[in-house]
């Protein structure tokens, strides 16, 4: 098995060595309605404490979002999003040295988050929802994650279809990379995310993971966020269950299986809820992945 491409991202006092070591991005949802942990970390102090815990557990990045992007979710205003995330970022940046990512599709939110101390942008719209986002990434010289999604969170799960799943998503991401570059974002600041669960069926998600190595041709780091997603829950539930609780032990075990497979297929960054468990999985998967390079 070939090792994935290796990359070094260094900026503003932060360094990510991506390749031999899989980076873990801890999810911090400052929302009342996210699918897995909505409302749990909605207060500023609770969110900051959880962010500190994820850093202690070994997170390489903390990804903070103030707007739920679960299927069929409704958008909120930039002002409300800023109100939710900025106080958390301001406090958390004083308590951890790892980079904080702002999960937003709005340039105004990204600006306020970066001014508060955030050091990355995670744009699930891949620059489609706000034409000013690339300019923000350029101005502040921060890494930018570009994710594939069909439509919007409200519409993405309405019978998603593709002519060719891998080719279609790869072409979408290639165009997103070109758009970012044309707007001044250097290639060494770009990360892609094929968008597990964002406009995909259960089968599509498993196909994506099995073919993740086919995105390496784009020659940028690959981020993936499979944690607790519906495709895992749907596969694990019995025929009498409509769903399984996202934070149940069986879903976490299933998530770790997907994480291990994703690392072996070339993922550089894994966006997860349970950092401690993922740290263990990644350590073993990285050892397997790197074994052919050992003398």
Instruction: Show which residues are catalytic.
Output: 229, 271
Q: Which helix (H) or strand (E) segment is 54 a member of?
A: helix 44-56
Given strand 269-272, what is the order of strands in its sheet? 190-193, 144-147, 120-123, 100-103, 61-65, 23-29, 269-272, 223-224
The partner residues of 271 in beta bridges, in order of sequence, read 25
Report CA torsion sign: 45, 49, 55, 59: negative
d(CA 263, CA 88): 30
Closest residue by Cα to residue 117 from 89, 95, 152:
89
In the chain, at which residue ranges do the beta strands (DSSP E only) sit? 7-11, 14-18, 23-29, 61-65, 100-103, 120-123, 144-147, 190-193, 223-224, 269-272
Q: Cite the DSSP H helix spans in 60-201.
A: 78-92, 107-116, 133-140, 165-182
d(CA 214, CA 165): 11
- What Rg value do the Cα atoms of the chain yield, rounded? 18
The phi, psi pair for 71, rounded to 5°, reads -55, 135
d(CA 187, CA 234): 37
């Amino acid at each position: 098995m070939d090792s994935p491409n290796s990359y070094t991202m260094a900026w503003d006092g932060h360094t990510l060595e991506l390749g031999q070591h899989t980076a873990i991005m801890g999810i911090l949802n400052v929302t009342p309605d996210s699918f897995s942990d909505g409302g749990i970390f909605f207060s500023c102090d609770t969110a900051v404490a959880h962010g500190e815990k994820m850093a202690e557990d070994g997170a390489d990045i903390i990804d903070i979002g103030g707007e739920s992007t679960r299927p069929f979710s409704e958008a909120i205003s930039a002002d409300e999003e800023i109100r939710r995330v900025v106080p958390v970022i301001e406090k958390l940046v004083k308590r951890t040295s790892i980079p904080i990512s702002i999960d937003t599709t709005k340039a105004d939110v990204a600006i306020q988050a970066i001014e508060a101390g955030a050091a990355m942008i995670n744009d699930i719209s891949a620059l489609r929802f706000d034409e000013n986002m690339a300019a923000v990434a350029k101005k502040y010289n921060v890494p930018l994650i570009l994710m594939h999604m069909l439509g919007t969170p409200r519409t993405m799960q309405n019978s998603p279809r593709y002519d060719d799943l891998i080719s279609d998503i790869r072409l979408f991401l290639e165009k997103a990379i070109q758009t970012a570059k044309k707007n001044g974002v250097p290639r060494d600041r770009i990360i892609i995310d094929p968008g597990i669960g964002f406009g995909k069926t259960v089968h599509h998600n498993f196909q994506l993971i099995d073919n993740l190595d086919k995105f390496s041709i784009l020659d940028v780091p690959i981020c993936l966020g499979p944690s607790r997603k519906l495709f895992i829950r749907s596969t694990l539930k019995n025929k009498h269950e409509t769903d399984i609780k996202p934070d149940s032990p069986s879903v976490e075990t299933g998530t770790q299986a997907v994480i291990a497979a994703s690392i072996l297929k070339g993922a550089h960054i894994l966006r997860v809820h349970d950092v401690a468990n993922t740290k263990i999985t990644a350590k073993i998967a990285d050892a397997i992945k790197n074994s052919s390079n050992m003398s």
